[in-house]
Structure 1
Amino acid sequence: MTDTPHPFAPKFEFAFTVGITLSKPKIVRPTSMGAERWGVWAADGWVEGPDVKGKVVPMSGGDFPLLRPNGVIDFDARYFFEMDDGSVIYLQSRGYRWPKTPEIGEKMGRNEDVGPDDYYMRVSPKFDAPEGKYEWMGKYVFVGVAEKIPGANRIHYFKVL
């Protein structure tokens, strides 16, 4: 094995962080597939990074995850940002979260605080952004590394260069 990186290995650049306060979920339990479907709305939040600053538009959308019987959460989030200059941007994101142990899963199920190394939570968003200052958001692939906070999420987005 060599330590030489693959010539096509991606490089990442920090783009921004989004903090989202979540509503109380509505749950279809169980679905006909034996899983649970949740509806969790983006109650409010913020977006901030080197080239962006704004807010999550309250109740403009949310996440509609599928909680699989094996404990994996399959995210499907959609909501809007409004930047400080009034520009509106649409986010659509898919991803996964799963605890690294059953005990951590139980704590997360009770909405208790856990460490960032206790779970896997990654998302892959895409953005509809207006031409001009924010159009770069619709030209790159992004990876989000998410932080689970009781009652909220904080997602750190990185451009894949």
Structure 2
Amino acid sequence: MKLESLAAFEVTLGPVLDLGDSQWGRRRVINIVGGTFEGPRLSGTILPGGVDWQVLHPDGMASIDTRCTLRTHDGAHLFLCTNGVRHGPPEVLRRLADGEAVDPAAYYFRLFCRFETGDERYRWLNRTLAVASGARTAEAVRYEAHTLA
């Protein structure tokens, strides 16, 4: 098995909506308001309307669950679902929460990516698994996605 570069994503986010503590942790909803992706086999824009449904756990770990729609440079529409985790030292997580610039090497942010489309040009994505390493900024999430070949 090897990793092959798929695309670099920049997902622009709206404000955090904090729903409070539940039995699973602190639930947060973050609207995806747009973005871009660019890579050797996949490029285009991230459409507004997606959402990141996060749960912050008592130990500081965030469970990530996103869904959004992509439009490729040549007009295809793709559904993207990511699941993952973000965790790190409490001081680093506090700085991220405060919107500070933090070196992504200071925390762990990994995603599993699944795609879905009916567009014949991109049906190969329906049968492809991808993983990504992410970074959080004040208004966006950036991640490099790689297919598992």
> What TM-score, normalized by structure 2, do the two folds share?
0.95
Alignment partner for residue 67 of structure 2, among 71, 78, 89?
78
Q: Residue type of the partner of 2:120?
A: G
User: Would the aligned equivalents of 2:96 and 2:137 in 1 still touch at CA under 8 Å?
Assistant: no
Q: Residue type of the partner of 2:19?
A: V
Task: State the 1:132 CA deviation.
Answer: 2.1
CA separation of 1:143/1:130 partners in 2, compared to 1, >3 Å: closer, same or farther? same
The residue aligned with 2:51 is: 62
- Any unmatched runs of 5+ in structure 2? none
Deviating above 2 A after TM superposition, structure 1's stretches of 4 or more consecutive aligned residues are none
Residues 96-135 of structure 1: CA deviation (Å, up to 9, x unaligned): 0002x22111101111110011100001011102242211
Q: Residue type of the partner of 1:66?
A: V
Distance in 2, Cα, partners of 1:44 & 1:131: 21
The residue aligned with 1:148 is: 136
The residue aligned with 1:47 is: 37
The residue aligned with 1:13 is: 4
The residue aligned with 2:17 is: 26
- Any unmatched runs of 5+ in structure 1? 1-9
Equivalent pairs, count: 149
The residue aligned with 1:88 is: 77
Q: Residue type of the partner of 1:89?
A: L
Distance in 1, Cα, partners of 2:91 & 2:119: 47
Q: Residue type of the partner of 1:102?
A: P
* Greater share of residues in strand: 2
Is residue 2:9 matched to residue 1:37? no
Residues 61-112 of structure 1: CA deviation (Å, up to 9, x unaligned): 110010001100001100100112211000111100002x221111011111
Distance in 2, Cα, partners of 1:65 & 1:48: 25
Distance in 1, Cα, partners of 2:56 & 2:69: 24
> What TM-score, normalized by structure 1, do the two folds share?
0.88
How many percent of aligned residue pairs carry the same amino acid? 25
Alignment partner for residue 120 of structure 1, among 83, 101, 108?
108
Task: State the 1:34 CA deviation.
Answer: 6.1
Rg larger in structure: 1
Alignment partner for residue 121 of structure 2, among 116, 133, 141?
133
